[in-house]
Chain A
Amino acid sequence: MIRELLRRPEALLGGLLLLLIAGAALLAPVLSPGDPLAIAGRPLVRPFTDPAFPLGTDGLGRDLLAGVIHGVRTSAAIGLAAALVAVLAGMLVGTAAGFAGGLVDEALMRVVDAFQIVPGFLLALAFVSVTGPSLAVVAIAIALGAWTGPARLSRSRVLALREADFVAAARVMGMHPAEIALRQVMPLALPPVLAVTAVIVAGAILTESALSFLGLGDPNAVTWGGMIAEGRNQLRSAAYLSIIPGIALVLTVISIYLVGEALTDVLAGKRQS
């Protein structure tokens, strides 16, 4: 599968970018030690003018490069955590609905409908403004809008699987229905869900940035959305303050999309034409 991925130029490009970004996230304490929110030098140093601050400094004299590098960690943590919660919750609900069938299925899928009707961003906004921002809350808030996709995908897969002979065999053996659903059937519903996980991660990173832009992100973490929002005040005099974290955000999301799309194609067994 990996080899098949490497044969696609868009996957290769996205993968390389993603490696770079992941490297920055992992090596952040080495690449730019210290608190990225601390004042490091003169304010408003332009990018590419001072070797000490390759990307310049903001209005308070904070190192922009440090902010971008540490911002990766926030984005990655939130994106992955939100996707994990969304996939886990979605698969549990979808499997339960598909396996139980009947009234349980109807009820659970109407809940899925209800969540799908409300825009995910509004849900996240409402949840964070009620509970107050912290990384965990933001991740759950984003997952609230993202779990319906995995729920639908796993339900349709489970609906097909539950008629399989091996499920009948497990029932005849006397296996508990919960074990059949969770241990036998649910893992087989994972591949189609995994294929959309990358898109969920990318969406979660965007949503987190939007929340931070509105001032609803974790105030103790550096976030790209927060950096863009702060730079907004000096957009005419120092546009780079918003543009640089903006570019980081766009590159991250695009690279995840590229890899995710290629992964979906490979998992679906489509041939590259």
Chain B
Amino acid sequence: MTLLDARGLAKTYPGERRIRALDDVSLSIAAGETLGLIGPSGCGKSTLARVLARLATPDAGSVRLDGLDWLALSGAGLRHARRRLQMVFQDPAAAFHPRATAGGAVADALRIHRLVPRRDRPEAAAALLRQVGLSPDLARRPVATLSGGQRQRVAIARAIAPRPRLLVLDEAVSALDASVRARVLDLLVRLQAELGLAYLFIGHDLAVVRAVSHRIAVMDAGQIIETGPAEALLSDPGSPLLRRLIAAVPALHRKDPPV
């Protein structure tokens, strides 16, 4: 079942160079599926994420999300509908209010969508922290005092708090150390199985994107140049860009897959 269906998205940033960040971009994501989005920096990945998260307005195009005309929503209607789509940002240090506590950030998400009565909120926030592999004892800690991996886990807890259908992960693991990254990726895979979440997983590192994606879309200069099931696409890349990306991953261009 198609959860998100974007058609003909276009966005040009005004200015002297008139950069076409999105040029007739169409993509769809099924419920419970991970679509990996890969491409060089500046290709429009983040603009696409911001447009889908309703943080930026496209010049043209339409988006259906969970049966809603997503781009037509505004005001209170949009705020209520936002619980369907949540986002995790690249830099977990910047994505929290400088004085936010881990528990408070998660409780805020619960309060906004009135999912839990006020007196049960600390309990529910602690449960969400446990769900992302954090000790509920961290609830009172300022997010600023946590490690990068812990912060990103809090960001994930905050994002799943309103029980969304789709998470937009904009380079969500790119700023993390390799070992931490692997564990956060494990967490994402586990949460997908537990909650039936769909992911739009944006990255620039093919090895990471491949590890979690069912399908992969390749983006360049504001356009999606190639899309298909992950393994099929990687074994038979059509575009020079994807071939270059594959060649850049040492383990991926070997003919025999590592056991």
Contact = CB atoms under 8 A, between A and B. Distances in A.
User: Are A and B physically bound partners?
Assistant: yes
Interface stretch (A114-122, A163-171, A195-203, A229-237): A163-171
Contact of A174 (B82, B91, B155): B82
A174 B83 contact: yes
B259 interface: no
B46 to A, nearest CB: 11
B23 to A, nearest CB: 23
Contacts of B24: none
Interface size class, chain A? 10 to 19
Nearest to B83: A174
Contacts of A170: 97
Nearest to A169: B95
Contacts of A187: 99
A209 to B, nearest CB: 39
Nearest to A185: B97
B151 to A, nearest CB: 12
Interface string B224-240: 00000000000000000
B158 interface: yes
A181 B147 CA distance: 28
B82 A188 contact: no
A173 B89 contact: no
A172 interface: yes
A3 interface: no
Contact of A168 (B55, B82, B83, B99): B55
Interface in A122-173: 164-166, 168-173
Contact of B87 (A164, A166, A172): A172
Nearest to B87: A172
Interface in B105-122: 108-109, 112-113
Contacts of A173: 82, 86, 108-109, 112, 158, 162
Interface in B62-86: 78-80, 82-83, 85-86
A172 B82 contact: yes
A78 to B, nearest CB: 33
B91 A188 contact: no
Interface string B47-71: 0001001110000000000000000
A271 interface: no
A174 B162 CA distance: 10
B80 to A, nearest CB: 7
Contacts of A32: none
Contacts of B155: 169
B49 to A, nearest CB: 10
Contacts of B94: 164-166
A17 to B, nearest CB: 34
Contacts of B100: 166
B90 to A, nearest CB: 8
Contacts of B50: 168
Contact of B86 (A164, A172, A184): A172
B53 A172 contact: yes
B212 to A, nearest CB: 21
22 contacts: A164-B94, A165-B91, A166-B94, A166-B95, A166-B100, A168-B53, A168-B87, A169-B89, A169-B95, A169-B96, A172-B85, A172-B86, A172-B87, A173-B109, A173-B158, A174-B79, A174-B80, A174-B82, A174-B113, A175-B108, A176-B112, A187-B99
Given A174-B162, A184-B97, 20 more contacts: A164-B94, A165-B89, A165-B94, A166-B98, A166-B100, A168-B53, A168-B87, A168-B89, A169-B95, A169-B155, A169-B158, A171-B55, A172-B54, A172-B55, A172-B82, A172-B87, A173-B162, A174-B78, A174-B112, A176-B79
Q: 3 closest pairs, A vs B, by CB?
A: A174-B82, A165-B94, A174-B79
